[in-house]
Structure 1
Amino acid sequence: MKNTTTIYNTVLTIAGSDSGGCAGIQADIKSISANGGFATTAITAITAQNTLGVNAIYPIPTNEIKNQIVTVLSDINVGAIKIGMLQSSQIIKTVTETLQEYKDIPIVIDPVMVASSGHNLLDNSALDALKLLLPMATLLTPNIPEALILLDIDTISPDNMPKMAKKIGKTYKTSVLLKGGHLENCTSLMDVLYVYDTDSLHNFSKTQIDTKNTHGTGCTLSSAIATHLALGNTLKDAVQKGITYTHQAIVAGKGKELGKGNGPVDHFYKLY
């Protein structure tokens, strides 16, 4: 007879591995754990990377990606799913098809399409496949360069961010958190949440932090939001808590050093 008094609030993250530990699956696990969740994983690719950049990417075979997802979900009660970089059209299609049977689980998609160098990470076929996955999301969390690709436009300004967030949401029939971290010449940054079900907009302002240690912030934020959804928060509250956590983690990691390049945020600042 089971004597279970506490059930883990579990999140499944589907993403690539970062050998440097700053982003990807490693950042997801840290963020989920720091926000009170239990992390399970389906790894889509192994990378050789550090704080200076990515040296190589080794995709996991699609049947093994599916096997990871199904094996976790067939046994463990997952409260939310976070999806990060999927890289190829074949991987995206596999994830899309596999998750069709689990539509009752909230899904947060960080649509990783643009590298920090500015280069596109997805070719046209992969982008087309991704656009078929996006409507399955409970929430999309694009940054400005990714939003430009999704909308096929050239620029987004602080003034029209709410309009653009709503346009993405209407296009892909889902809620959207449009992140303003890539806006230039701004001392105060704004993230805009468009909630599809209520057709409502919410702004979240924060002070820009002068630091190079922002490697993995997108992974960290999307995983934190997924965790708070798994904990039972409303979408708006989950987004607010995820933004607050990520901002404080950036502040805490500002003065720390890892490697010679762009370092991580301090995921476990609350423990000190």
Structure 2
Amino acid sequence: MSATDSLRTAPARPSHDAGIGRRPLVTRTTPRVLSIAGTDPTGGAGVQADLKSIAANGGYGMAVVTALVAQNTRGVRSVHTPPVGFLREQLDAVADDVVIDAVKIGMLGDARIIEAVAAWLRETVTGPVVLDPVMVATSGDRLLRQDAEAAMRELLPLVDLVTPNLPELAVLADEPVAERWADALAQARRVSERAGVIVLVKGGHLSGVVDCPDALVDAGGGLGAGRSLVEFDGPRVATTNTHGTGCSLSSAMATLVARTGSWSEALGAAKSWLTASLEAADALEVGAGSGPINHFATVWESAGLGARRADGAALVAGWWDDIAELRARIDRLPFVATLADGTLDPARFAWYLQQDAIYLRAYSRVLARASALAPTPEEQVFWATGAAGSIEAEMELHRTWLEASAAAGEEMEPSATTTAYLDHLHAASVDGDYGRVIAAVLPCYWIYQDLGERLVQASHAAHPFAAWLDTYADPAFAIATARAIEIVAGAAERADATGRRAMRRAFLASAAHEEAFFAEPIR
């Protein structure tokens, strides 16, 4: 999410969202952002990660070191803490010379350090402050003593945004760790109300959630238009290289809020950047443990310096894995089970076919759109052939299964479920993004072909729905599906990180519509 044109040209100025947080927000094209945190010699976390994150998001980074940490991607070996007086000298040295537009606070270590930083904030800082409360490791290990945890809670009213992981949020709330997203939001609301701070709730480690939600919670309603909650959905990236994710997100937030003047806009941009950095993390090949994210993935990609081209086939296979539970639910639906054993109510089947005919008519137009956008003649022909095939299938439904309805003068109208699916496909096709439109149509190939392979095993000469069962197990349809998967994988490989995320969202949304299509009751 880029800054507005005025931000690119204007000097520092008060933000129109100045009421957000405890301090007025002043936007600046290249904000000067100070990180107060510990070190990581391998560069994946701490001030090293903060400086990369600040630079990647358009800021000028500065750093004051709270602790020297001997660590690598496998873990921490030891920590050396300089005298608190020297910490204050570092802070004052920066503030005496440089205007600080935003502050990110990370590892503080003990109560004395927290108190020193708190005193400096009260005396010196006028810009937004983001606190990443390094209190509990993702393993669940406590990183602060009890007196330091109390000091950390007392620090909250002095900052504008706090970005805890779920165990840290529980410590700040003095409650058990939230197990559901709704519980985490409620917990954040209590922390926000108690401390007068905005809380960034992160769903990355939430179990049982397919995607990765994040949210801003401000009990004071300062998130623009009087809102107290702003939520963002996003993909869960399959990688073990997540070292420094919390550090990097919090420093990105400090930078972006100083550029945009809006916490909500900052989170949207930070989340997009972080997802791209996680998607490209494996290509770095740093360390034998949990490696770092790729902070400059989007910068390198735009400059043609990407470390490694994305593996499109692996990406699309990952999307398929993402809907494994959805596919299992489809198999268990009454419609599918009774279709397989031949006991499906004929009226229910006729209703399904009516909606399918309506769907195919519109689906053919989307495939025609894919053909028009295709970059090669071969792909143009493939999607155009699919469009023609959809029209032929719709006509065949009318000639055979739907003759009785037509003869009775029954008008075929789309159901709400069909309409929602077609609206989604239309939205995917209108913006001219070839990758997005073909990712949106892929589930109609892939899910039907996958389901057909199992349903055909129940087919026999006397089966009332044998003709339908045999259609989707046709070898020609399997070949077409394999080619569609291959084309989508190629498009994903050519796309940038933003394009790949759009393709994945389109694919997952279509898969969800397919499930709803099978589950819809007769009207």
Q: 1:121-160, aligned counterparts within 5 Å?
A: 121-156=143-178, 157-160=180-183
> Per-residue CA shift, 1:48-90, capped at 9, x if unaligned?
1111000010012111111111111111111100000101011
SS in 1 for 2:229: strand
**Pairwise CA distance, 1:103:** 4.2
Match of 1:183 in 2: 206
Larger Cα Rg: Structure 1 or Structure 2? 2
Q: Which segment is superposed worse, 186-195 or 76-85?
A: 186-195
Q: Which residue of 2 aligns with 1:268?
A: 296
Contact residue 141 and residue 178 of structure 1 kept, 8 A: yes
Matched to 1:194, the amino acid is V
Distance 1:101 1:196 in 2: 26
Q: Which has the higher mean CA deviation after the structures are superposed, 234-243 or 155-164? A: 155-164
| Bigger mean CA offset, 158-167 vs 65-74 | 158-167
Question: For residues 212 and 7 of structure 1, what CA distance do their matches in structure 2 show?
Answer: 34
- Residue 168 of structure 1 aligns to which amino acid in structure 2? V
Matched, 1:251 2:274: no
Q: Residue in 1 aligned with 2:135?
A: 113
* Greater mean deviation of Cα atoms: 6-15 or 72-81: 6-15
2:248 to 214, 220, 223: 220
Q: Which residue identity is paired with 2:143?
A: L
Q: Which residue pairs with 2:406 in the alignment?
A: none
Counterpart of 2:415 in structure 1 is none
1:80 to 97, 102, 111: 102
- 1:168 partnered with 2:180: no
Aligned to 1:208: 236
Q: Deviations over 1:237-270 (max 9, x none)?
A: 1122112111111111134411110001000012
Q: Is the 8 A contact 2:193 2:218 kept in 1?
A: no
> Residues 40-79 of structure 1 correspond to what in structure 2 (within 5 A)?
40-79=62-101
CA distance in 1, matches of 2:32, 2:260: 11
Residue of structure 2 equivalent to 1:234: 262
* CA–CA separation in structure 1 for the residues paired with 2:135 and 2:230: 25
Moved more, 5-14 or 156-165: 5-14
- Verify the 8 A CA contact 2:35 2:103 in the aligned structure 1: yes
Residues in 2 aligned to 1:147 and 1:89: alpha-carbon distance in whole angstroms: 19
**Offset, 1:115:** 1.9
Structure with bigger RCO (C-alpha 8 Å, 6+ apart): 1
Q: Which amino acid aligns with 2:247?
A: C
Classify the secondary structure of the residue corresponding to 2:290.
coil
- Identify which range, 63-72 or 146-155, moves more after superposition: 146-155
> Unpaired runs of 5+ in structure 1?
none
Aligned to 2:58: 36
Distance 1:116 1:162, change over 3 A: closer
- Whichever residue aligns with residue 195 of structure 1, its letter is D
Paired amino acid for 1:148: A
Contact 1:161/1:192 (8 A) holds in 2: no
**Percent identity of equivalent pairs:** 39
Give a deviation string over 1:129-155, Cα, whole Å, max 9, x none. Answer: 111111111101111010111112223
Quote the offset at 1:107 in angstroms.
0.1
3-state SS in 1 of match to 2:215 = strand
Could you say which structure has the higher helix fraction? 2
Letter in 2 for 1:213: N
Kindly indicate whether the alpha-carbon contact (under 8 Å) linking 2:218 and 2:229 is maintained by their aligned counterparts in 1: yes
- 1:185 is displaced (CA, Å) by 2.6
Partner of 2:164, secondary structure, is coil
Alpha-carbon distance between aligned partners in 2 of 1:148 and 1:72, rounded to the nearest angstrom: 34
**Other structure's SS at 1:203 match:** strand
Aligned 8 A contact 2:136 2:142 in 1: yes
- What is the TM-score when the length of structure 2 is the normalising length? 0.50
1:192-235: CA deviations, max 9, x gaps? 21134425101111111121100000000000010012224311
Q: TM-score when scaled to structure 1?
A: 0.94
Unaligned 5+ runs, structure 2: 1-10, 12-27, 223-227, 302-523
Q: Are the aligned partners of 2:30 and 2:259 in contact in 1 as well (CA < 8 Å)?
A: no
Q: Residues 83 and 109 of structure 1 are in contact (CA less than 8 Å); yes or no, is this contact kept in structure 2?
A: yes
Q: Is this contact kept in 2: 1:29–1:39, CA < 8 A?
A: yes
CA shift, 1:33, in A, is 0.4
Greater per-residue strand proportion = 1
- Structure 2 residue 115 is the aligned partner of structure 1 residue 93: yes
1:110-132: CA deviations, max 9, x gaps?
01101233210011110111111
Q: Residue 132 of structure 1: SS of its match in structure 2?
A: helix
Secondary structure at 1:18 match in 2: coil
The question of whether the paired residues in 1 share the 8 Å contact of 2:169 and 2:177 is answered with no
8 Å contact from structure 2 (residues 193, 220) kept in 1? no
1:198 matches 2:226? no
Cα deviations across residues 28-59 of structure 1 (Å, max 9, x unaligned)? 00000010100111100001111100001001
Count of residue pairs the alignment pairs up: 268
Give the secondary structure class of the aligned counterpart of 1:207.
coil
